[in-house]
Structure 1
């Protein structure tokens, strides 16, 4: 199956049809993938209708979602976040988990109080591994 190209007007008509009829009917009728429809919706929401023109989309502009930071940048954190981070370190030190299972249990017990990304960073656990 080859790649099908849509004009800006066709994409707008497909999005209009989607708003009236939903995902399933739109994907079946126009034979497009869910990620494609999702990408068009996001492009219109962020950049307007002009993003649907060829070579004007988010991907062609180099706009990408930022990945998770490799290191925590304390200079960019607010005072409240820094205080929360220090309190979290103190709470984690109380249990000092050794095994992965204990680390995940510690994250589970503290996740309502602190951000999961900070807990995973302190305990050296990937967030993707935690969410599985």
Structure 2
């Protein structure tokens, strides 16, 4: 479906992120949407293979943190010790979520079609980046 060169460029760009040469940054910007769609496609295909999805949710928690010091009496005079406070935090957990396989298959097909529709423009953008920022 995609040329080997395009897939190699997309894979390499994912590793580079915001770092790199102006050409690499331009290619990264040009391929961002396709990379996002490919991530969603991979997730959808994994859901279909497993038969369920993973859902992330947050649980409120508390943690102890040093929030200052206090003077306490000691044998040689006052001693400075850490003072602890409870700080509200959240913990992210995962749970199984049921899926509708037919709906998930339709989502997969729609993502593949969207990626295929975007690839000619992405390849043109990559070529323009190489022309504008030769290395």
* Same fold at TM > 0.5: no
Structure that is richer in helix per residue: 1
Q: Which has the larger radius of gyration?
A: 2
Structure that is richer in strand per residue: 2
TM-score (norm 2): 0.26
- Which structure exhibits the higher relative contact order, with contacts defined as CA atoms closer than 8 Å and separated by 6 or more residues? 2
